[in-house]
Homo-oligomer: A and B are copies of this chain.
Amino acid sequence: MSERVRRGRPGHDQESVLRVAIDLFNRQGYDATSMGDLARELGLTKSAIYHHVTSKEHLLELALDEALGKLTAALDTVRADPSYSPEQRLRAAVRSSVVVLTEHLPAVTLLLRVRGNTPAEQKALARRRDIDHRLAEMVREAAEAGAIRADVDPLLASRLLFGTVNSMTEWLRDDSDAEALADTVTTLAFDGLMRHG
């Protein structure tokens, strides 16, 4: 399918169909959602919806690409900054992850629920594992630089750290303040709940 947005009826384009599809997938589950459900939600006939998108799986791919693309780009930006120490790099990675999660909440929520039931989901899971490896590597580098505590396995620390970030999809709202949340999560992760000094 071409990158160009294909238009059917006035009032809908591929982008607006995608937004509604992602919300529906998150609400009732991807597997349980049919193209008929999506057409009903959009007020279109089932045949009209195919003016906008080729298949349910293509909508899933677009959604997962959005989440994975933004997360990958954020890590690329962090990694490319030569001024960061390993600790600053890890802090920036945590901050960026929270910002992407908040700003692309529906797509990231869908990504985190993917269990690998289809080839598109398996491909997304592989890309998600790659991101997890990059994050774990940043934790390991910060540990080796002596910046973070040595008494916790870096892989475990990484899982807990980004498990915290991912768990935010359970209660975040689209209108949450991404920058303020990113600061709070980074502060709690690095400095803990205890009052210091």
Contact of A149 with B193 in the complex, beta carbons under 8 Å: yes
Contact A147 B195 (CB under 8 A): yes
Q: For A161, A189, A193, which residue has the most chain B Cβ atoms within 10 angstroms?
A: A193
A175 within 8 A of B: no
Judge whether A160 is part of the interface by a CB distance below 8 angstroms. yes
Interface residues of A in 141-197 (CB under 8 A from B): 142, 146-152, 156-157, 159-161, 163-164, 166-168, 170-171, 184-185, 187-196
Main secondary structure, interface of A, reads: helix
Chain B residues within an 8 Å CB radius of A160: 164, 167-168, 184-185, 188
Interface size class of A (residues with CB under 8 A): 35 or more
Report how far A171 CA is from B159 CA in the complex, Å: 8
The proximity string for A residues 34-63 relative to B, scoring 1 for CB distances below 8 Å and 0 otherwise, is: 000000000000000000000000000000
**Which of A's residues lie within 8 Å of B, judged by CB?**
29, 31-32, 142, 146-152, 156-157, 159-161, 163-164, 166-168, 170-171, 184-185, 187-196
5 CB contacts below 8 A, A to B, read A152-B187, A159-B168, A160-B185, A163-B167, A191-B194
